[in-house]
Amino acid sequence: MSNTVILVGGPDTGKTNFLARLVAHLRDGSGSLKATHLPDNIQYIEDALAHLMKGEFAPRSHNTTGEVSGEITIDVRFEDHAEEATINVPDVAGETWDEVAKSAEISQAWLDRVQGANGALLFVRVLSDLNVAPMDWVNAPKLLALAGPAEDFALPTQVMLCEFLRLLEENLSTAGDEAPRVGVVLTAYDRLDEETRAKGPMAFLESTFPLFAGKLANTTEVEIGIFGASVVGGELADAEFKSTYLDGDIVESGYIMDGTKEPVERVGDISRPVSWVLRYPNTP
């Protein structure tokens, strides 16, 4: 049976740019993980790659369709392994994942996608403007009385992440003898200062999203791996870095901070989180 990895994450969590960079790696890179089949219609990935090639990130999609209208599937194989695996990307925007988390309800079409996977990548973007901090409960009652209906309030990001993880815990396929793996990918990792980056992605989660970090530490239904990801390797807003980046090769840019290693390991293989979820050897 082919293993399937599903990509999960709310709006502005970096899924599209990560996926575009991953496709470039699978198609043209020198890593051990290779694409054996790419779908004919991956226009939005090609568009995202075109943005990255110009030294800019793909804009966030504002498509808010609530149902799965399709999906992108990428078949991959690791070196000489005979068995192929599939990366599954449901064709919906991050806002739809948000609605699933807020309502704790999921349509059958969505449920089928999650239950058909036996591993997942869960995306979190560091320092995103859309990240919602926990409510200040000292002043909250007064604010709630003034602000109106409860549905007008955004769900704190770490609460939403806990809900995503619960969904994956309860629904990922457990057909094998081992627990499903969920790789938590912190995108835009290069936006953190050098000292924070060096401490590793789990330390960032513990300081920024302590509720979610606590749930990760106490999860038993799935195996958790924490990764930091930079698809370009630096700040494109920095003119000097951007010039160097544009002079280079996109498949040689970017890095992964692998929190499954002790100490945390920095590697240039952008497919490392996928390989880990699929239980392939993590090679440099």
Cross-strand pairs, 37: 75
Give yes or no for a contact between 119 and 180, defined as CB atoms under 8 angstroms apart: yes
Residue type, 160: M
Q: What is the C-alpha separation between 66 and 40, in angstroms, rounded?
A: 24
Instruction: Give the pLDDT confidence score for residue 105 in this predicted structure.
Output: 66
Instruction: Give the pLDDT confidence score for residue 102 in this predicted structure.
Output: 63
Q: Which domain holds residue 143?
A: 3-277
Q: 73 vs 19, 33, 150, 166, CA distance in Å?
A: 11, 15, 38, 24
Instruction: Give the pLDDT confidence score for residue 229 in this predicted structure.
Output: 97
Instruction: Give the pLDDT confidence score for residue 91 in this predicted structure.
Output: 57
> Residue 246: inside a domain, yes or no?
yes
DSSP letter for each residue of 185-253: EEESGGGS-HHHHHH-HHHHHHHH-HHHHHHHHT--SSEEEEEEEESSSS-TTSHHHHHHHHHS-GGG-
Which residues in the chain come in under a pLDDT of 50? 1, 63-69, 136-141, 143-144, 150, 284
Supply the DSSP symbol for 150.
Answer: G
Q: Give the chain's domain count.
A: 1
> Residue 81: inside a domain, yes or no?
yes
> Residue 283: inside a domain, yes or no?
no
> Residue 284: inside a domain, yes or no?
no
Instruction: Give the pLDDT confidence score for residue 134 in this predicted structure.
Output: 66
Q: What is the CATH number of the domain that holds 100?
A: 3.40.50.300
> Residue 268: inside a domain, yes or no?
yes
> Residue 282: inside a domain, yes or no?
no
Q: What is the pTM of this model?
A: 0.87
Q: What is the pLDDT of residues 216-252, one digit of tens each?
A: 999 999 999 999 999 999 999 899 999 999 999 998 8
